[in-house]
Amino acid sequence: MRGVRGAVRAVLAVATSGLLLTGGGVALAAPAVHGGQEHGHGQDQEQGRHGGWPDVVALPDGFQPEGISIGRGTSFYVGSVATGAIYRGDLRTGRGAVLVPGAAGRAATGTEVDARNRLWVSGAGTGTGTVYDARTGALLRSYRFVADPAATPTFVNDVVVTRDAAYFTDSLRAVLYVVPIGRGGALGTARTLPLHGDLVLQPGFNLNGIEASPDGRTLLAVQSNTGLLLRISPATGQAQRVDLGGVLLTDGDGLLRQGRDVLYVVQNQLNRIAVLVLDPAYRSGRLVSTLTDPDFAVPTTIARRGGSLYAVNARFGTPPTPDTAYTVVRVDAVGHRGR
């Protein structure tokens, strides 16, 4: 184990009220990050006790991260909500560099690397989704889901990729944006899937993190401002509340499925990760524990490699400056101790 780091504590009670404080309150000061410049020297990382891999990985100062994905080998990717830049790092060494430079008018929130080594990126308030080559950073496809974000409020927050499609959430609209994936991985034309049922829009951020069942026939999404976990049919758009026995996932953000039945839910402002065990149909579940870490600083999303979870600290509420420090923090996954 890592001593007090990555400790798991049982949950006896979970807060059942409160609004997400991060929506619309993220300052988008442009970070001073230069493409291609290597970042993260060994002495700058907090060295772990598992093969020398760092437990805390430094990101470029001023980067303003939000989403994290793990790619091939030991690579990881983090997007900047401020500029849309994509940083690629190495979990083993802690080093990395900007793969896709940022630009005015762009943003990056949730990300995912698919089986074809393509990096999917949610575009926050730009109303877009983007697909990059995860090896070269080359732009493969860009989708505009909302024609005029100024006229139609939008916040494209997270994305999950299945064998047949990619699904993007919008925190301000009761829809999913769907990009079909055809034979040979061909990228299709995006469409909007209206949602109905138990999803009722409330002030603030609504749908946030999203995950899929192993067969892609069921989607799970968390509604941040109500704390509800929703089971969504990608075929019909029907959203049904998952019965968690009265537990609300207050400040729910990124989701991550482990195996068939374990679901991690990042609770950003609470600096913790809820661990749920769901029934086979994803209609009910129970909260079994939470993961905490003293280095959490408003974590938003997580990714998994082996027995480790990696959470990116967005530090919402901390005024962003070119010198503001940001990190990725490792904790043990459920059922694992060490790497």
- Each of the 339 residues of the chain gets a pLDDT tens digit; together they read 333 334 333 332 322 223 333 333 333 333 434 345 566 533 345 555 456 899 999 999 999 999 999 999 999 999 999 999 999 999 999 999 999 999 999 999 999 999 999 999 999 999 999 999 999 999 999 999 999 999 999 999 999 999 999 999 999 999 999 999 999 999 999 999 999 999 999 999 999 999 999 999 999 999 999 999 999 999 999 999 999 999 999 999 999 999 999 999 999 999 999 999 999 999 999 999 999 999 999 999 999 999 999 999 999 999 999 999 999 999 999 876 555
Integer-rounded Cα Rg, in Å, for the chain is 18
d(CA 268, CA 40): 25
Nearest to 291 by CA among 241, 248, 329: 329
Phi/psi of residue 206, nearest 5 degrees: -100, -110
Of residues 299, 334, 295, the one with CA closest to residue 56: 295
pLDDT of 26? 37
For 86, 265, 293, the CA distances from 17, given in Å and listed in that order, are 34, 16, 23
d(CA 205, CA 329): 25
Are the CB atoms for 114 and 165 separated by under 8 Å?
Answer: no
Q: Which two tokens stand for residue 229?
A: 């976990």
- Nearest to 184, CA basis, from 198, 214, 164: 164
Q: What is the pLDDT of residue 18?
A: 31
CA pair distance 129, 102, nearest whole angstrom: 15
pLDDT at 338: 53
Strand partners, 111: 121
Instruction: Specify the pLDDT at position 22.
Output: 36
Q: Rounded CA gap, 281 and 258, in Å?
A: 15
Calculate the CA 157 to chain-centre distance.
8
| Amino acid code (one letter) for 318 | T
- Among residues 265, 225, 23, which one has the least CA distance to residue 125? 23
Report all structural domains of the chain as residue ranges with CATH numbers, in order of start. Answer: 8-332 (2.130.10.10)
Tokens of 102: 């940022």
Cβ–Cβ under 8 Å, residues 320 and 326:
no
Are the CB atoms for 91 and 53 separated by under 8 Å? Answer: yes
pTM of the model: 0.87
- Could you identify the residue written with the tokens 């630009």? 103
**Tokens matching residue 79:** 């997007």
